[in-house]
Amino acid sequence: MNQMALVGRLVKEVELKEIGEGKIVTNNTLAVKRRYKNEQGQQTDFIPVVAWGPVAKLLHTYCEKGHLVGLSGRMQSRSYVNKEEETVFLVEMVIDELHFLQGRKIQDPSLLEVEV
């Protein structure tokens, strides 16, 4: 069993990457406020997130940096070799479901233009 739910804000713009086999992926980070403040004030966790295929496209179409979203999914670990040829171990959330918690990004501003 592996289940998680987060509500927080995207820390950067959503960029789609196409990898090898025609798969689409996007990586981001969610800023999640902690429930309790401590002596340093409001604490925030920064959780890496990844979305694939249709979920990645939804995120790209409707969300931008700073948007509040609810995410459901699971935690995964993976490792990769970086440019310095070091193996990096990474823990990140894989997004299964995406919930928009504020106004969506306007895709085509011309839709808002009023002809006189």
How far is residue 59 CA from its own chain's centroid? 7
Residue placing its CB nearer to a copy of itself in the complex, 24 or 94:
94
For position 25 contacting a copy of itself by CB under 8 A, the verdict is no
Among 17, 76, 104, 106, binds a copy of itself (CB under 8 A): 76
How far is residue 8 CA from its own chain's centroid? 9
For position 17 contacting a copy of itself by CB under 8 A, the verdict is no
Give the residue among 6, 1, 23 at the shortest CA–CA distance from 70. 6
For position 37 contacting a copy of itself by CB under 8 A, the verdict is no
For position 53 contacting a copy of itself by CB under 8 A, the verdict is no
